[in-house]
Amino acid sequence: MASVVVLQRAQSDLEEILRYLFERAGLATAKKCERSFLDLNDWQSNHPESGATRSRLGQGIGLNVVDPYNVYSRYDAATQTFIAGARLRAL
């Protein structure tokens, strides 16, 4: 099982997304989206090779989707660590 490290920038992005959803669609929608992001972290830790690879963006960069958001992460096989970050420059 791989470790998942959520960068501060990714956490800030998630909080911004959840605030936006709460204000426009309500608590239930925001909670559903939050659960989807948490489920993705769990999925990645158990299935580190999953997701679409985006090698043109860099070695080990992968893409998963929490509709309608693209979630980019980098997997380091040597340390079995996922670095989750919503912004490519943060990876």
Whichever domain contains 79, its CATH number is 3.30.2310.20
Other beta carbons less than 10 A from residue 46's beta carbon: 10
One-letter amino acid at 45 equals S
Which tens digits make up the pLDDT trace of 45-78? 898 878 899 888 888 888 999 988 888 888 888 8
One-letter amino acid at 68 equals P
Q: Which of 30, 34, 33, 44 is nearest to 72 (CA)?
A: 44
Identify the domain containing residue 56 by its residue range.
Answer: 3-90
Joined together, the tokens standing for residue 23 give 């204000």
Which tens digits make up the pLDDT trace of 6-37? 888 888 989 999 999 999 999 999 999 999 99
User: How many domains does the structure of the chain reveal?
Assistant: 1
One-letter amino acid at 15 equals E
Which strands form 69-76's sheet, in the order they lie side by side? 3-6, 81-85, 69-76, 61-66, 52-53
